[in-house]
Amino acid sequence: METSNLLLVGALFLFMAPVCLSVPLWDRASLACASIPGKQVLDEESGRYFLVPQTCEQGEVAWRMTQSYVALRFWRPKPFKVCFSSNTPVNYEKYSVFNASFGNMFVGSPNMYRKVCVNSIGNRLDIVLLAKKSFYVMRAKFTVQCNS
């Protein structure tokens, strides 16, 4: 192989390596709970579905864009509610909350003045968070409270 061809192949590798290596890191979602050390990380092939541990009473889910949604399943021994919050201004909300346990019903989009809360049907609740536009990273904070 000639030196010029070798240099061309080397340059092509250096150009393409960051792109090839960054794809799995680009399309991920993560769940972090305040009461549990570490975080769960999902790749694109996961279906974007998190089972939120029972011990997770507050946390944050983050997801990167090529998929614009993430699904969460909450389970508790008795009825509960989950509230989502955001620090975005009114009319600039970044994501919407859908109750997948109740026919994918739109519940709302949280902002700096308004939380969006969803009551469970029994002891389980399925939620879909859907980005309203394309953003590099979406973050949604949540709290879980048992109903008395």
pLDDT at 114: 97
Instruction: Give the mean pLDDT of the chain.
Output: 81
| DSSP H or E stretch at residue 57 | none
10 Å Cβ neighbour count for 56? 18
pLDDT at 17: 44
Decide if pLDDT at 43 tops 70.
Answer: no
Decide if pLDDT at 40 tops 50.
Answer: yes
Would strands 28-33 and 39-43 be described as parallel, antiparallel, or unpaired? Answer: antiparallel
10 Å Cβ neighbour count for 61? 26
Which amino acid is located at 25 in the chain? L
Decide if pLDDT at 106 tops 50.
Answer: yes
**Strand ranges (DSSP E) for 1-148?**
28-33, 39-43, 49-51, 58-64, 69-75, 80-85, 95-99, 105-108, 116-119, 124-131, 137-146
The pTM score is 0.76
Q: What percent of the chain has pLDDT over 70?
A: 74
Q: What is the mean pLDDT of residues 47-54?
A: 84
Is-contact 138 72, C-beta < 8 A?
Answer: no
The per-residue pLDDT for range 82-102, each reduced to its tens digit, is: 999 999 999 999 999 999 999
Q: Domain-by-domain residue ranges, the chain?
A: 28-146
Please provide the CATH number assigned to the domain covering 28-146: 2.60.120
